[in-house]
Chain A
Amino acid sequence: MKRKTFLKSAVPAILLPLMLNNLSLWGCKRKNAPASSKNSSADDRILVLVQLEGGNDGLNTVIPLDQYAHLANARKNILIPENRVLCLNNSDVTGFHPSLVELQKMYNSNSLSVIQGVGYPNPDFSHFRATDIWLTGSGASTVLSSGWAGRFLDQKYPNYPVGYPNNDLPDPPAIQVGSVLSTALQGHTVGLGMAITSTSFFYDLVLGNYGIAPATPAGRELFFVRSTANETHQYISVIKAAAQAQQNLSKRYPETGRNLLADQLKIVAQLIGGGLKTKIYMVNLNGFDLHNGQVYSSDATQGVHAQLLSKLSEAIAAFEDDLQLMGTQDKVLGMTISEFGRRIKSNASYGTDHGSTGPMFLFGSGLKGGIIGSNPILPAKAEVSDNLPLQHDFRSVYASVLKGWFGIPDAELSAAMLSPYPILDLFK
């Protein structure tokens, strides 16, 4: 709480010169300059999907303190010591992994919600299949070729890409940063948006930096095609204009290259601040498939999982800080997804195998905050095959976001989600 008060009073003093500088440099380049979005309407709201690839270990992320003895039985070698678990306001039974310091602060200020036990019936333990299920919004036994967000955007922007860009939507419907366009953004016929395949590609683009043409004929021609490609992509000019209209304001981003998720979110914040009308952004952090070495044998609070969670926490905090400084925080909702949680029982190599359900994080000032659902009930002595029970279908969360955040009518909701799902009460 204190931090937030400090920020509120400190922002104008610290940033006034910088912002003036920005205005003089870039302020006029784009007409729809970022407006203060205190009262964001459903129409200008944005969703940022953060995909945690590999299957995040939910039990070491959101820790059920009321089940601690059973947890200790199941995963002694990777157990976070009870006194190191980060406590949450108004909850003495649930805590966060010690690396999630920033997310703890956000939770305590009601700008982060946790949804417990998210998955689907008859979970699939294959990364690929489970990922496809989460991205398409299918069930375990059905196959869909379009993505759930793609179907939403298909409704919103009929016939895309024919007739786009246009005055209503001069910008890509969706932007993927750091990868190819996700299956989640695949519509009935084409992908609804563009991929900024790497952060360096983005900055080269904005700066018009295409490197040096190699001295061979093939090198020269490749350089020619590459330069043309970068100059003529249908959305390049709007991306460039947005990047020029808004610079990142937060000082909390780590140095470039240290936290790839933060690097991606930094671009997203800049594009949102620059006024793009893009509805959905997607970023990713990979490496969660930790069958071994999830924690250091010497210290279960340290290790690869701790590093990943720390990156997640740090990246989201810097992103939110940036949005606040730009005045765009009220129109942005973030959501983490991961193809599955991991097994209750750890393995002998300080890791965990593929499991069923896990927690989801939602972040943004439009949320009510708190924990939706309850801690999973763990068996006293978990067997290798034991898995966490299902509390919330992931499609119920998607549907709640489409309805509660984007405010879409029921007909569009059913066209996007294909079946009815319970709507969760997530938003203010």
Chain B
Amino acid sequence: MLNPKNTLTEKMTLFWPSHLVAQMFLMKDARFDYDYLALLRLHALGNFKKLTRAITTTPGMLLYLNGNSNSAVTPNENYARELQELFTVGKGPDSRYMESDVMAAARVLTGWEDHQDDLSSLVSLFNPNPPFNPLNHDSGDKQFSTFYNNTVIKGRTGAAGAKETDDLIDMIFQQQEAAKHVCRKIYRWFVYSEIDSKVEAEVISPLADLFFKNNFEVKPVLKALLGSEHFFDPMNRGCLIKNPVDFLIGACRQFQVPFPSSSELALQYDAWSLAYQLRLLGMEPGDPLNVAGWPAYHQQPGYHRLWINSNTLPLRNSFTDMLASEGGLPIYSAKLKFDLLAFTNQLPHPEDPNQLITDSTMLLCANAFDASQIEFLKTILLSGQKADYYWTDAWNSYATNPTDEISKSVVFTRLRQFYAYIAQRPEYQLI
């Protein structure tokens, strides 16, 4: 997430585990974690149906939602339920699948094994033939409700029993509801938490149609949403509260925090323990609190506001304060520090305090700062002086001789306060 060539891929790689949840820390096998994560990244901008099919039998998911102990004799409905309730058709007003559909789906899914002690069980990447035990499979016919057009999935015996899972996925993905449910989540991920009837009719429905028509290809949906007038409408901009990854990893990216390279492996791992800070802020990637995913994307009425509370907001502020400080944010032996000079250097006119304020705040915050905040930022850059050239002289003196410690400290001292102040603003919490 720190150095992606394609930020949208990473943004979606983080989205999918919030939707197709398998808490990675419960998998207890790093190979399962890897496989799950690799699948999410592989299909991040690919096909949602294919992703769902692959996730259904990845060993981590079989372990997490008990697919590995779902057999003809002792059915376990856990995955069959979440597959419909959370992952695909959802619980929207028009999603009317029934309890009998959960039971039928559970029967379809009998027979899968995770083979935790067998490397070849890593189905999706290493082994195209996942372990399926026909002896545990329920080979009877499965009758579904009117919601699924009274579909009957014909029971199969032997290794062919595994094909029933494909039939199940095909049946579920014939429902428009699967498209609607995911489009609502994508909307909450990229635009805003609140979906009123107008947004439902004018944005979600057409997006879901597009998703459905394109056989659940993700790219056309993102292209339509992220290129829409709705997305760029000032009314819909800068109103989403950053999740902890947007906030902390985003800050490291914006301010070009240098991370240790692989030549300092121990230090590199120390720095990557930044994941712990994300956990403190309430979002450890890959490990939502429960199968429903992070509450900020489904829990009414707070939604994204749930990221911000009396514990997390002071923490957010202290992290950016430390990242902007001379000492940096210590993580074991590593120290993470904003490269404030590099950030400022990339702006078109860092020597002009007014331009510097406009350009940096526009780059860092989606919402414009008001006049009093801009004036305050200027007093920081000018150390309370009135004439702009004091900053200009200081910057130019640094720019012409960047290795001079005194010139550097003069601009750095002010930039440290300047950017720490910006990162403390409520505006910096929005995206």
**Hey, which bits of chain A sit against chain B, CB under 8 A?**
51, 53-54, 126-129, 131-132, 141, 143, 145-146, 161, 179-181, 183, 186, 188-191, 197-198, 216-218, 220-222, 224-226, 228-229, 231-234, 284, 286-287, 289
Query: In this complex, which of A51, A146, A190, A226 has the most chain B Cβ atoms within 10 angstroms of its Cβ?
Result: A190
Which residues from chain A contact B321 at a C-beta distance below 8 Å? 190-191
Q: Could you list 28 examples of A-B contacts with CB < 8 Å? A: A51-B384, A54-B384, A54-B385, A126-B393, A127-B383, A127-B385, A128-B414, A179-B379, A179-B384, A180-B417, A180-B420, A181-B417, A190-B325, A217-B239, A218-B238, A218-B239, A218-B430, A221-B305, A221-B430, A224-B308, A225-B241, A226-B426, A228-B310, A232-B309, A232-B314, A233-B314, A286-B384, A286-B385
**Bound complex: CA A191 to CA B386 (Å):** 26
B410 on interface, CB distance cutoff 8 Å: yes
Q: Give the distance in Å from the alpha carbon of A234 to the alpha carbon of B387 in the complex.
A: 36
Question: How far is A222 from B238 in the complex, measured between Cα atoms in Å?
Answer: 9
Residues of B within 8 A of A188 (CB): 327
In the complex, what residue of chain B is closest to A222 when comparing beta carbons?
B426
Question: In the bound complex, do residue B305 and residue A189 qualify as a contact, i.e. CB atoms below 8 Å apart?
Answer: no
Cα-based distance from A126 to B406 in the complex (angstroms):
12
User: Chain B contacts of A222 at CB under 8 A?
Assistant: 367, 426-427, 430
* Residues from chain B with Cβ under 8 Å of A51 in the complex: 384
Q: B157 interface residue, CB < 8 Å from A?
A: no
In this assembly, does B175 line the interface, its C-beta being within 8 Å of a C-beta of chain A? no
Residue of A53, A54, A128, A232 near B394 (CB, 8 A) is A128
In addition to A132-B410, A224-B305, 18 A-B residue pairs with Cβ atoms within 8 Å of each other are: A53-B384, A128-B413, A179-B379, A197-B421, A198-B376, A216-B239, A217-B194, A217-B236, A218-B366, A222-B426, A222-B430, A225-B308, A225-B426, A225-B429, A229-B313, A229-B426, A286-B384, A289-B387
Whether the pair A289, B410 counts as a contact (CB closer than 8 A) is: no
In angstroms, Cα B385 to Cα A51, docked, is 12
Docked-complex contact A217 and B386, CB < 8 angstroms: no
Tell me whether A143 and B314 are in contact in the complex, defined as CB-CB below 8 angstroms, given that A128-B394, A216-B235, A225-B241 are known contacts.
no
Which residues of B pack against A, CB within 8 Å? 192, 194, 235-241, 304-305, 308-311, 313-314, 317-318, 321-322, 325-327, 366-367, 376, 379-380, 383-387, 390, 393-394, 405-406, 409-410, 413-414, 417, 420-421, 426-427, 429-430
CA distance A191 to B421 in the complex (A): 13
Instruction: Collect the chain B residues with CB atoms within 8 Å of residue A286's CB.
Output: 379, 384-385
Which residues of the partner chain A approach B311 to less than 8 Å between Cβ atoms?
232
| Shortest Cβ distance from residue B240 to the other chain A in the assembled complex, whole angstroms | 8
Contact yes or no, A289 B386, CB < 8 A: yes
Which among B237, B383, B390, B429 has the greatest number of chain A C-beta atoms within 10 A? B383
Alpha-carbon distance between A173 and B241 when the two chains are bound, in angstroms: 32
**B residues within 8 A CB of A190?**
321-322, 325, 327
Cβ of B309 and Cβ of A228 under 8 Å apart? yes
**Bound Cα distance from A217 to B192, whole angstroms:** 8
Contacts of A234 in B (CB 8 A): 314
Q: For A217, what are the chain B residues with a Cβ–Cβ distance below 8 Å?
A: 192, 194, 235-236, 239
- Shortest distance from the beta carbon of B231 to any chain A beta carbon, whole Å: 13
Chain A residues, CB < 8 A from B238: 218
B43 smallest CB distance to A (angstroms):
31
Main secondary structure of the interface of A (DSSP, over half): mixed
Number of A-B contacts (CB under 8 A): 116
A127 to B414, CA, bound (A): 12
> With the chains together, A416 CA to B414 CA distance in Å?
22
Complex: how many Å from CA A143 to CA B405? 7
Cβ of A53 and Cβ of B385 under 8 Å apart? Answer: yes
Complex Cα distance, B411 from A14, in Å, reads: 52
What B residues does A127 contact at CB under 8 A? 383, 385, 390
Residues of chain B within 8 A of A128, CB atoms compared = 383, 390, 394, 410, 413-414
Interface centre among A51, A143, A161, A181 (most CB of B within 10 A): A143
A161 to chain B, nearest CB (A): 7
Residues of B within 8 A of A186 (CB): 326
Which residues of B lie under 8 Å from residue A229 when comparing CB positions? 313, 317, 426
Give bound CA distance, A221 to B318, whole Å: 21
Chain B residues lying within 8 Å of A143, measured Cβ to Cβ, are 405-406, 409
Across the two chains, which residue of chain B brings its CB closest to A143? B409
Give the chain A neighbours of B192 by CB distance below 8 A: 217
Q: Assuming the A-B contacts A189-B325, A222-B367, A287-B386, are A132 and B417 also in contact, with contact meaning beta carbons closer than 8 angstroms in the complex?
A: no
The 5 closest A-B pairs by CB, nearest first: A53-B384, A217-B239, A232-B310, A189-B327, A225-B426
Contacts of B394 in A (CB 8 A): 126, 128
Q: Which residue of A lies closest to B238 (CB)?
A: A218
* Min distance, Cβ B322 to any Cβ of chain A, angstroms: 6
Contact A145 to B326, CB < 8 A, known contacts A54-B384, A132-B413, A222-B367: yes
Q: Which residues of A contact B322 (CB under 8 A)?
A: 189-190
Q: What's the minimum C-beta distance from A288 to chain B, rounded to whole angstroms?
A: 9
How many Å lie between the Cα of A234 and that of B317 in the bound state?
11
Q: Contacting A221 at CB < 8 Å: which of B241, B317, B379, B413?
A: B241
Looking at the assembled complex, report how far the CB atom of A234 sits from the nearest CB atom of chain B, in whole angstroms: 5
For B430, the chain A residues whose CB sits under 8 A away are 218, 221-222, 225
The answer on a CB contact under 8 Å between A131 and B383 is yes
Q: From B424, which residue of chain A is reached at the shortest CB distance?
A: A229
> Are A228 and B308 within 8 A (Cβ)?
yes
* B321 CB → nearest A CB, Å: 6
Please, how many angstroms separate the alpha-carbon atoms of A234 and B318 in the complex? Answer: 11
How far, in Å, is A394 (CB) from chain B's closest CB?
17
Q: Tell me, rounded to whole Å, the shortest Cβ–Cβ distance linking B263 to chain A.
A: 27
List, in ascending order, chain A residues with CB within 8 A of B376's CB: 197-198
Contact assessment for B237 and A218 in the assembled complex, using a CB-CB cutoff below 8 Å: yes
Q: Which residues of A contact B327 (CB under 8 A)?
A: 188-190
A128-B414, A188-B327, A217-B192 are known contacts. Are A225 and B239 too (CB-CB below 8 A)? no
Which residues from B are CB-within-8-Å of A146? 326
Whole-angstrom distance between the alpha carbons of A107 and B11 in the complex? 66
Q: Which of B238, B393, B426, B427: most chain A CB closer than 10 A? A: B426
Shortest Cβ distance from A355 into chain B, in angstroms?
16
Residues of B within 8 A of A141 (CB): 406
Least Cβ–Cβ distance between B183 and chain A, in angstroms: 19
Q: Contacts of B384 on A, CB cut-off 8 Å?
A: 51, 53-54, 179, 284, 286
